[in-house]
Amino acid sequence: MRLLPAIDLIGGKIVRLTEGDFSTEEQYGDPYELLKAWQGKVPMIHLIDLEGAKAGEPRHLDVVRYAKSLGFLVQTGGGIRSEASLDAVMETGADRVLLGTKAFTDPDFLDKATEKYGKRIAVALDAYDGKVAINGWQEATKLDDISVAQDLVKRGIETILYTDIGSDGKLNGPNVSRMKALRQIVNVTLIASGGVTTEEDVKELKMAKIDEAVVGKALLSGKVSIEELIEWEARYA
C-alpha cells in the first residue's frame, strides 16, 4: 500500500480543515519548507488547493512546480473546472491530476480530459453519508457515491480518490466499511482519504485491498512522523 503525505493549501500556507469546514482552518506553516524537509524521504505527495477548490480555479500551481523540482511524484487537484485550468496544471508536470466538481457536473469535460491525458486523470469522489459533495465540499448533491463510482469506471477512469468527509480532519480513523463497499464494485486504483491516523488504520485498509491512502492531519499535527509513515508503507506494501 502506498501512503501519500498530504498538503492542503490556502493563501500560500499549509492548512487543515475538519469535515471541509473553512471556519475550522488550522495553519501548519510554509509548504516550501515542508517539501524540502520531505525531499528524498517519500516518493509521492498529495497536494490539494483548497483555496482553488472554493474559488473554482487553481491558485497554487507554484507549489506544484516546486514539488516537481524536488523530484516528487505529485497528485494534485482543486478548482480545475476549465480546459485552460486543466492544461495549466498538467504543464506543471503533475503526475496525477484530480478532477472533482467538474467531473460530476459536466461528464463531457471528464471524457475529453481522459481522452487527452489518459491515466494522469483521476477523480476525487468526496462524499458525506454516501452522497457526493462538490464545490470544495460546500454543496451537497443527491448523487449516490457507489453509483457514481460505477459510472466513473464505465467512463474509463482508472484511479478514484475517495474522501469520507465525515472522517476528515478528526483523527478518528477512516471509514473502512465504505472503502470495502467501493472495493467490491470497482476494480481500479482506489485511494482512501479522511481520518487515516494509526498503523492499525493502514492495516485495516490493506486488508480491505485498498491501494493507497492519504495521510494529512495526523502527519502535520505530529500524531505520526514521516519516518513512521515510511515504515508503515514498507510493512504493508
Q: Which of 49, 126, 145, 201 is catalytic?
A: 126
pLDDT of 139 over the 90 cut: no
User: Does 126 qualify as catalytic in the annotation?
Assistant: yes
Residues 207-224: tens digit of each pLDDT: 999 999 999 999 999 999
Which residue of the set 8, 49, 168, 201 is catalytic? 8
Residue 19: predicted pLDDT: 67
pLDDT computed for residue 87 by the predictor: 98
Tell me whether residue 144 is one of the annotated catalytic residues. no
Q: What is the pLDDT of residue 168?
A: 60
pLDDT of 78 strictly over 70: yes
**At what angle are helices 199-207 and 176-185 packed, to 10 degrees?**
20
- Give residue 83's pLDDT band: very low, low, confident or very high (50, 70, 90): very high
Q: In this structure, is the dihedral angle defined by the CA atoms of residues 230, 213, 50 and 164, taken in order, positive or negative? A: negative
Confidence class for position 21, pLDDT limits 50, 70, 90: confident
pLDDT > 70: what percent of the chain? 97
